[in-house]
Each structure stands twice: as structure tokens, then as C-alpha cells.
Amino acid sequence: MIGSNPKKIAAACLILTGGKGKGLTPDKPLPEIINQPIIQRTASVVVPLFEEVLLVTNTPEKYEFLRLPVVHDERRGCGPLMGIYCGLRKIKNEVAFVCAADMPFLDEKIIRSQFLEFDTFDIVVPCPRKRPEFLHAFYRQRCLSAIRKNLDADIFKIEMLVPHCKTRHLSGEWFARNGLTERTDRAFTNINTMRDYRRRLEPGERRQSGISTPNALTSIVPDVLQEIRRTLIDQETSFQAKSTEETFSSIWSHSSRVARIARHIAKSEGWEQEPALLAGLLHDIGKFAYGSYHEDDTPEEENAVRFAQRILSGTVYERWLPTVSNAILSTYLEGKATSDIGRAVYDADCLDKLGNIGVVQFFAKKALRRQFLDDDVMIRTSIELTYAHHAPDTLKTATGRSLARKRKTRTRFFYTGLLEEWKELGLGAFNIIEEEIAGIVCILVVPGSCSCGGRLERESDIRDSLKCRSVVVNYLCRACGFENEFSFCLPNVKGLPQRQ
């Protein structure tokens, strides 16, 4: 065993993501403990500990955010034994530590101590509670032949390797002798069910995820703080006012992306690509019709169709006018896509607001509206998280739903990291919570406390707004009397209460 980094264990690590996760969720390693996906907590321990780390999974798109090399099972339905076999064949090291992705509390000291027991053994497996933990064990590559024989014979239990491989069992006495007993309960925890998940959010961890950090700016005398704020804003506004000849092209940029995404979806679904491209380019062209925004009662979609007719008539694209017009109207005026091209454009428009592209779009739009990175913008990220959460179930094409599943994870990962940095830098504490409001799951970013340091009370409901059903969140601080209402339109999810 050759080690290039003396601080790292001279071995590989295989993270197995297998298991259907029926007791918790279909994505068992993805729920969060202290604002971090379980599998990310697992990876954060093993990546700095081992010379190479591989992810063994048949659904790599769910874990792209980890940026780890991936190994696929050669054959499904064989359990973790197949994952160990495929992983051992790919590693550069002679030895691999195998762990499950749903073990969020791996202990570096136990792992290092376990490795020191290898000697001439093929497998080193801990037995802290008498039962062997084969998914917290070290394996040599020379186990491959025995594993292959068992797989070919449809013998999938890992413990059936023991008669064929020289195995070292680490008993409870070994843990006591090495001063590791108190670490075992936590280190060997698997999050298999919601009961496990809730139980492991121990009181200390719950408090950590809800730390209240008063706004440090409140220490400044209010009049001085207000004057500083007013002067900075006045100076910047004065400067920006000089740029009256600036050309704005955000709608064009958005439409060009939607067009290309719609074309990609149409191609994947086997539909005509050209009308999807055209409908994507034209879907928002009525938004600022004649230099105004919703100035009269004419729906922007009808204006878009008028522009489409003017632009496409007499061109080689005139034959697509009925298809393009129907796609725009069916998707945005009626609130439901009734044509294939309409479904492609609807999904493309939604996908442009998800994942990494969606994050960029969110902050770009805020900046365009002169809203910059502050507490209010943090709260409004609830919109992005809620839409991303429901996107895989609300998009209208198989291609769109597949793309949305990947972007749902990326969106959650980014905003979780952003809020962690916000708290680490002393800017304030926010928590991501899942709250069921009138039967609809909403992902809310809520402040840990009021800016005065007092506790915020929160009430939520769903009500009618001009064009949609909105979730409304009211905040109240009894310490200083602060009140605020935050609302946003909900996606058209199944079970959404009808407008009154």
C-alpha cells in the first residue's frame, strides 16, 4: 500500500448510495442534518481522509454537487456486494474503506484505528454492538475473486465472504481498549427511517441550526445609520441616472435561452424543433408591449401573438404561425399547455429558473430591480427553493422532469451553502424549513431572530392574488413591534386549493 500523502490513509474509500430508501425518502442520502445533505456530511469526512474517494451509484445525477468520480453497478438487484465488487475493481489503491452514504456521523479516529488493524487480513470489520458492520469495513482487492464467485452464485450477503477471505473482527473489547466505546453509538448510525432522522437531530444540533444572531448594525445610532444609508443610495442613484442611453436586454437573453432549451426538449421528445425554437424566442415578446408593463387589461400573451404574426408573416416561418401562437396562448394565457410545443416552452421557461442558471437569474433580476444582497433577498430565496422543490412534479414533459430533478438538488445545495456563509460571517442566521401550508409543501428561508434580537413569530396561509394562489407569511416581533408580510405565487402543484 503506497501513500503519497502521510496525513491521508493509504487506501481508497467507496461510498455506497444503494438502497431504495423506502423508510425515509427515495433519495435517502439527500435529507439534511444541520443544513447539509447526509451524503455531503459523509463525504466531508472521507474526502480529506483517503487518497481517493469514489461514489458507487446508479443515479449519479442526484449527487453531481459532490463532484466525485462515479462507479456504476454492473448488475442491479445484487445489493451492496455488487457495489463493493465494482468499486474494488476501479480503485488505484490495494485497499478500500467501504461505507454507506446514509452514515452522517463517521468518526475519523475510529476509521484510522480500524485501518491500523489490517496487517495480513483481507477484511477488517468492526463489531461495536456484536453485529458486524460490513458497510464500515476495509477490503483488499484480493477479495475480488471470492466476491465474483458469490455474485455468480446469487449469494449477495456480504457476511458470506468470511469463509473465503481472511477476516479480522473488531469486538466491543477492542473499542474499549482503544478508548473508542463512547464514539460508537453516533459513528455507526444509519439514517434509514424518519424516526432515525428526527432522533439524530439531537437538541444540540437543533439549537445549532436555529442560532439567533441580532443584526450588528443596530449598534449604530439610528440617525447616523440612516444618514449613511441615504447618502450612499443618493450618490449611486445620481451616478446611474447618467446612463440613460443604456440598452436593456434581459428579456432577450432569457428568451434566447428558453428557445434553445425548448428546442432541446422538443428534440428529445421527438417533436418538431423549429416551432419550439420560435415559440421560445417569442413567448415573452408581449411583456413590455409598446414600452409599458400591464398598462391595460390586454394579457401579455395576446400581445405576444400579435408580435409573432407581424414578425413571422411573409417569411419562411409563416407556416408555423398557428403552432407558435397556440403554444404561447395555451401555455401562458390559459395556464395549461395543451400542445406539445406549448409543453416544451413551458418546461423550458421553468428550467431557465432552476439550478445554477436559476441562481444567476434570481440575483441578476434582483440587481436589475435595484435589490441587492441583504436580509430581505435572503427571505425571498424561499420562492426559488419552493419552485425547485415542486418542479419535478409540475413540468409537463418527461425530458423536463428529468432535467428538473437534477436542478432541484443543485438549487437546494447552493442556497444552503449561501446561508451557511451568511451565518459564519456574522451577517445573521437563517434556516431552511419545510412547512406544509394548506396541504402544499413550501420551502421557506426564515430568519432566526428579529434584527433587534427578539424572537420572531410566524403565521402562514394561502390566499388569492391577482393572477395566482399565493403563500403568505406574516412575521411579528413582540419585543420591538416589527411586522412584515412576505408572499409569493405558488407553482401549479397537485392539491393546490382553487381560487375563491
Q: Over the stretch 436-476, which tens digit does the pLDDT of each residue have? A: 888 889 999 999 888 777 888 989 888 876 567 788 888 88
CATH of 9-208, one of 3.40.190.10, 3.40.50.720, 3.90.550.10, 3.20.20.140: 3.90.550.10
Position 28 pLDDT exceeds 60 = no
This model's pTM is above 0.85: no
pLDDT of amino acid 407: 93
Decide which of 237 and 114 is more confident: 114
Position 198 pLDDT exceeds 70 = no
Decide which of 467 and 85 is more confident: 85
pLDDT of amino acid 112: 94
Position 84 pLDDT exceeds 90 = yes
pLDDT of amino acid 367: 82
pLDDT-based confidence at residue 311 (cuts at 50, 70, 90):
confident
CATH 1.10.3210.10 applies to domain 250-351 = yes
Q: Which amino acid is at 253?
A: S
pLDDT of amino acid 25: 41
The mean pLDDT of the chain is 80
Give Cβ neighbours of residue 90 (< 8 Å, ≥ 6 apart). 54, 71
Across 50-55, average pLDDT: 94
Decide which of 5 and 352 is more confident: 352
pLDDT of amino acid 375: 85
pLDDT of amino acid 202: 44
Which segments of the chain belong to CATH 1.10.3210.10? 250-351
Going edge to edge, which strands form the sheet with 167-170? 70-71, 50-56, 9-16, 95-100, 136-140, 123-126, 167-170
Percentage with pLDDT > 70 across the chain: 78
Which segments of the chain belong to CATH 3.90.550.10? 9-208
Across 213-234, average pLDDT: 52
